[in-house]
Copies of this chain bind each other. A is one copy, B any other.
């Protein structure tokens, strides 16, 4: 596997791992999860089957690792937006709504992956992240002060999952506007 060889063993391992996750995601997208086998993943990644088994015991573990990587990327994306946007709260909620919009909740693979423990952990992190933003907003007088930030975080994260069923990006933006009006409270 010369093309995957990198400067150090660690970097090499990370590269094999990443390549395996990319390959598996591509195979699932092309043929559906049921037809993906360890042999096909090894072949397409360009590694031996025995090598693949040193990294992952089965396809399900690879899919879970891929999903964890996707969720991590989403959380990093939201953290970036928080740091750079002029209006971090609204920008983060909009970005979250677009993630929900692009995510196919009806996909059986998504339904399976979402039952994993790693998802519950990611949801806790996301909720904490949004709660902190809302607490900042309340101190700045931009968010209502009569409801605790944690309750408001639950409200807006649930409201924004409605984006998954919306027909257009304009509709997603309207959903964010309506949700923000709830966070601001009566004028």
Contact = CB atoms under 8 A, between A and B. Distances in A.
B182 A166 contact: no
A155 interface: yes
A12 interface: no
A174 B185 CA distance: 11
A64 interface: no
Contacts of A179: 155, 159, 182
A156 B159 CA distance: 7
A108 to B, nearest CB: 10
Interface of A is mostly: helix
A154 B156 CA distance: 13
Contacts of A155: 159, 162, 175, 178-179
Interface residues of A, number: 30
Contacts of A158: 158-162
A79 interface: no
A16 interface: no
Nearest to A159: B159
A86 interface: no
Interface string A158-187: 111110011000010011011111111111
Nearest to A154: B162
A152 interface: yes
Interface of A: 144, 146-147, 151-152, 154-162, 165-166, 171, 174-175, 177-187
- The 4 A-B residue pairs whose C-beta atoms are closest, nearest first, are A182-B182, A187-B187, A159-B159, A158-B162
21 contacts: A147-B174, A147-B178, A151-B174, A151-B175, A152-B178, A154-B162, A154-B165, A155-B162, A155-B175, A155-B178, A157-B162, A158-B159, A159-B182, A178-B182, A178-B183, A181-B181, A181-B184, A181-B185, A181-B186, A182-B182, A184-B186
